[in-house]
Structure 1
Amino acid sequence: MDSCVIVWFRNDLRVHDHRPLLHASSHGLPVLGVYVFDPGQYQNLSYGFPKTGKHRTQFIRESVADLRQNLKQLGVPLLVRHGSPEEVFTSISESFTIQEIFLHEEIGSEERSIERKVRERLPHTTFTIDRGHNLYPPEDLPFNISELPDTFSQFRKVLGKNGLPGLTEISIPSSIRGSHLPMNVPEGDIPTLQELGLEELDRPPRYPGGSSKAKDRLLHYIFKADRLKVYKETRNGMLKEDDSSKFSPYLANGCLSPKVVLDQIRTYERKHGKNESTYMLYFELLWRDYFHLVHRKYGDRIFYPAGIKGDRIPWDDDQELLHCWMDGMTGYPLVDAAMRELKQTGFMSNRARQNVASFFTKNLGLDWRIGAAWFESQLVDFDVASNYGNWLYIAGVGNDAVPFRAFNVEKQALDYDPDGSYLRYWLPELRDLPAPWIHQPREMGMLEQEQYGVRLGEDYPLPVVDLHESMRIRKQVFEQAQKNSR
């Protein structure tokens, strides 16, 4: 059998700034790329919905297809398989002598468990792991992971005081000796949504996957549309695509390296000068690093109901309320618009995410882990550390100095969508309502309902909870739980 080295791609679907690929290219043996669609990642959760939904799956499928093309240009074949990773690698080892497997580190317990099973099947193969998901590798930071500050503001101050680590060089291998595939080893087709147990999309993907599309988006947002100069002012916009960068789907799936984003920010600054917006985009990349470090420090505790704080807050179990939230039928327009946007496109803005998560935990009182799992299923930019870190934060069991943080979803709608254009786009039954009725349809009397053709309880749902009373009750529950935990 021919000898080879393998680059095992997972959440790093690119060829730029990819240390495992660079190391494989300098090894001397032919290089083979491998990507595995693991059925375990597409199965239904106990909550009744798939772990990876159709929007996120489609983004991954397109990203793998783009990776295959980019590797092909380097002369490297990409094997795509649908099956358990340990069985896939066992099968490959029957056709190749695998000397070494190069891969990026994943810190999630599921990913480490899968990796362990593959190692057990290949006891004579060396595994070489690099870190490449963040701006700053943990070993370059001015503290040990155990000393990670408990709030982001403290983390940022420590970095500012000690000086920021330097970035490693960003490069693509100039030449790679790719493996020659025997006749009995096909490259493999990318499985369809149906083959992965999912429904087909009923509309074109909002964000097409792939490193090539990531490059297009990066150049468009920063240079062609010149939107970086106003990022700070527009980033909370919920409707217009260029209000925020929309880099997150590409960062989450590794189609885009955060180092490349920072490199382009600096290129922009050299040309146009630094401003608050260029810093703010860097600031968001730093938040991403911070949540990764929180996951590294606390491990599986980020999935516990009590989170990393350890406060045993009782959560309600109301399936009717859960499905009203998931389907965008709560009677609160900002929540409903955002949840319908998520279900139909696999995306919603950061401002919307904070509001729907706050409503889920501080008004409905539901278990934050279910909300986080729904986001994991639906979001094309799902990142385990950022998703669960943010949900912990909003739920009040994570990295937040505020004991009870809650959003008034009606006030937030007035502040961030004053003319109601976002609400009208996603809630067609309310599109004829003027402001302020569109922000608070529950306040309309029979005359207003007749005037605008919206019957509450029929055309649009009545509120499932009282906004202020539900928040008052949840605050009492939190305060009592925090007392009991001391």
Structure 2
Amino acid sequence: MPHKTGLFLFNNDLRLHDNEALTLAAAQVDQLICVYCVQTTQSSATLQAPSSLSPHRQVFLAQALSDLQTSLKKLGQHLVVTTKSALEVIPQLITVHNIDHIYSSVSPGYYEQKNWQTLAKRYPFIGFHRLDTHTLFHRAQLPFAVEKIPDGFSKFRKHVESLSINLPLAAPKQLPPSPVSASTWKNLPYSLVQAPLFEGGEEQALAHLEGYFSTRLASDYKLTRNGLDGMDYSTKFSPWLANGNLSARQVIHCLKLYEQEQGANDSTYWIYFELLWREYYQWYGHCHGKKLFRVSGIKTVKPKTSFYAERFQKWCSGNTPYPIVNACMKQLNSTGYMSNRGRQLVASCFVHELGLDWRYGAAYMEEHLVDYDVASNWGNWQYLAGVGADPRGHRRFDLNKQTLTYDPHQVFIKQWAGHQFDTHLDSVDAADWPISR
């Protein structure tokens, strides 16, 4: 029987545990090429490729890939890392190595789906296999067609909340060898230095997962989740979930074990509730595709907005008349992370107080957040901008009231110097004319 050669395309599944697509590949082929394509230019808003990454995102990704490389080497494998696009490198590998099967995890990203569909049409004689590893549920489990996803989270939750969730898979004990020499490929084009808050990689993800549930933090989660700073007010699973160093099913499994040992309450349920929010946006991304990046979102009417370059730059640097927003933006720029409460406040400010095109704000978050997830990021921005899945329209937050509620003594604002800003928001008008004072 002739040998079968497979190719595994890693994307948002940088792990060995609970990687159903990788497990399938290991079982079906005799040789396997593991590939990761680093894309560093163009914005998702152009529907082409991910935007340039901030140093924080670069470091986190570099650490995740380095960790994956180490894990693969223990199984006699290695990762082919290339700065070429999948549409460039995969045809080369198909030609040289006579590939029979190509495997990948399903991604909600329009760019990734478009590439996959292009390759599948171009090579109909090759078996293309994609599995749902980035979500809690498989597509076939959903009680509705993805194209008919409910038009709001509450309806979605009622449909899926009681569905069973598969147990996470163990890591493969062995992988087929690679026919590609490791010395052929260049190293990752990012410097590998220590990130301020999070260290990327499956090993760190599993350590954090175990560490979190070894404490009682989960039992108080609902009471603390709106914190603005620190490591303990929220689970902090999101960076590793975004890169796929950790699966949502692994989190749920550990959560259920915790509830069995420590007891279930509103707080432990709320962790599941927010994973369902994440789940909703993954399928939302699959449903709406390129509409995720359209100014009118999934609506038919464009929001009334404009673009003021000076306002945008002040928002980015944390130099607006809104101290709580400034503090959040300075925190983001310094650490690559921002609380969920902070993300809602800076987005509301961007859309409502500054009157800017929401897509520029979403693209800035894409560049900087270490836990950037294409569906969650762009879906949530649509939600705040009133062009997404929100039957009540725009979500505008009273920034003064929010400050009194979540930072009443301005500890967070003072820590990040949010009170330091220019007196005037605009020094020029929209036509770039100086404004007299």
C-alpha deviation, 1:86, in angstroms: 2.5
Give the alignment of 1:140-151 within 5 angstroms.
Answer: 140-151=141-152
Match of 1:213 among 184, 200, 204: 204
Query: Are residues 322 and 230 of structure 1, via their aligned partners in 2, closer, same or farther at CA, if it must alter by over 3 Å?
Result: same
Give the alignment of 1:188-207 within 5 angstroms.
Answer: 188-192=186-190, 204-207=195-198
Residue 349 (structure 2) pairs with residue 348 (structure 1): no
Verify the 8 A CA contact 2:225 2:234 in the aligned structure 1: yes
| 2:325 equivalent in structure 1 | 335
Letter in 2 for 1:389: G
Letter in 2 for 1:186: T
Give the alignment of 1:72-471 within 5 angstroms.
Answer: 72-119=73-120, 122=123, 124-160=125-161, 163-182=162-181, 186-192=184-190, 204-223=195-214, 225-427=215-417, 430=419, 460-462=421-423, 464=425
For 1:421 and 1:311, how far apart are their aligned partners in 2?
Answer: 41
Query: Are residues 404 and 87 of structure 1, via their aligned partners in 2, closer, same or farther at CA, if it must alter by over 3 Å?
Result: closer
In structure 1, list runs of 5 or more residues that go unmatched. 194-199, 431-458, 466-486
SS in 2 for 1:143: coil
C-alpha deviation, 1:89, in angstroms: 2.1
C-alpha deviation, 1:365, in angstroms: 1.0
Letter in 2 for 1:72: K
Q: Deviations over 1:378-397 (max 9, x none)?
A: 11111111011100111111
For 2:24 and 2:87, how far apart are their aligned partners in 1?
Answer: 23
Letter in 1 for 2:189: P
C-alpha deviation, 1:20, in angstroms: 1.5
C-alpha deviation, 1:123, in angstroms: 5.5
SS in 2 for 1:6: strand
Verify the 8 A CA contact 1:2 1:97 in the aligned structure 2: no
For 2:223 and 2:177, how far apart are their aligned partners in 1?
Answer: 47
For 1:44 and 1:220, how far apart are their aligned partners in 2?
Answer: 37
Q: Deviations over 1:414-467 (max 9, x none)?
A: 211122221122118x5xxxxxxxxxxxxxxxxxxxxxxxxxxxx6322528xx
Using structure 1 for the length normalisation, give the TM-score: 0.81
Query: Are residues 369 and 28 of structure 1, via their aligned partners in 2, closer, same or farther at CA, if it must alter by over 3 Å?
Result: closer
SS in 2 for 1:98: coil
For 2:140 and 2:27, how far apart are their aligned partners in 1?
Answer: 24
For 2:59 and 2:398, how far apart are their aligned partners in 1?
Answer: 34
For 1:381 and 1:344, how far apart are their aligned partners in 2?
Answer: 15
Query: Are residues 134 and 44 of structure 1, via their aligned partners in 2, closer, same or farther at CA, if it must alter by over 3 Å?
Result: closer
Larger radius of gyration: 1
C-alpha deviation, 1:35, in angstroms: 1.0
Verify the 8 A CA contact 1:44 1:51 in the aligned structure 2: no
Verify the 8 A CA contact 1:51 1:373 in the aligned structure 2: no
For 2:278 and 2:27, how far apart are their aligned partners in 1?
Answer: 31
Q: Percent identity?
A: 36
SS in 1 for 2:89: helix
Letter in 2 for 1:130: L
C-alpha deviation, 1:37, in angstroms: 1.2
Letter in 2 for 1:211: E
Highest RCO, 1 vs 2 (Cα 8 Å, sep ≥ 6): 2
C-alpha deviation, 1:291, in angstroms: 0.9
Q: Deviations over 1:271-292 (max 9, x none)?
A: 0111111100001100001111
Letter in 1 for 2:23: L
Q: Tell me how many residue pairs correspond in the alignment.
A: 423
C-alpha deviation, 1:24, in angstroms: 1.1
Verify the 8 A CA contact 2:58 2:190 in the aligned structure 1: no
| 1:37 equivalent in structure 2 | 38
Query: Are residues 384 and 312 of structure 1, via their aligned partners in 2, closer, same or farther at CA, if it must alter by over 3 Å?
Result: same
Letter in 2 for 1:339: M
| 2:60 equivalent in structure 1 | 59
Verify the 8 A CA contact 1:238 1:422 in the aligned structure 2: yes
C-alpha deviation, 1:144, in angstroms: 2.2
Letter in 2 for 1:266: K
Query: Are residues 294 and 84 of structure 1, via their aligned partners in 2, closer, same or farther at CA, if it must alter by over 3 Å?
Result: closer
For 1:388 and 1:114, how far apart are their aligned partners in 2?
Answer: 20
Verify the 8 A CA contact 2:41 2:51 in the aligned structure 1: no
C-alpha deviation, 1:121, in angstroms: 6.3
C-alpha deviation, 1:318, in angstroms: 0.8
RMSD after superposition: 2.6
For 2:4 and 2:402, how far apart are their aligned partners in 1?
Answer: 60
Query: Are residues 386 and 42 of structure 1, via their aligned partners in 2, closer, same or farther at CA, if it must alter by over 3 Å?
Result: closer
Query: Are residues 243 and 419 of structure 1, via their aligned partners in 2, closer, same or farther at CA, if it must alter by over 3 Å?
Result: same
Letter in 1 for 2:339: S
Using structure 2 for the length normalisation, give the TM-score: 0.90
For 1:264 and 1:182, how far apart are their aligned partners in 2?
Answer: 38
Query: Are residues 187 and 282 of structure 1, via their aligned partners in 2, closer, same or farther at CA, if it must alter by over 3 Å?
Result: same
For 1:51 and 1:137, how far apart are their aligned partners in 2?
Answer: 31
For 1:28 and 1:392, how far apart are their aligned partners in 2?
Answer: 42
For 1:122 and 1:142, how far apart are their aligned partners in 2?
Answer: 32
SS in 1 for 2:99: strand
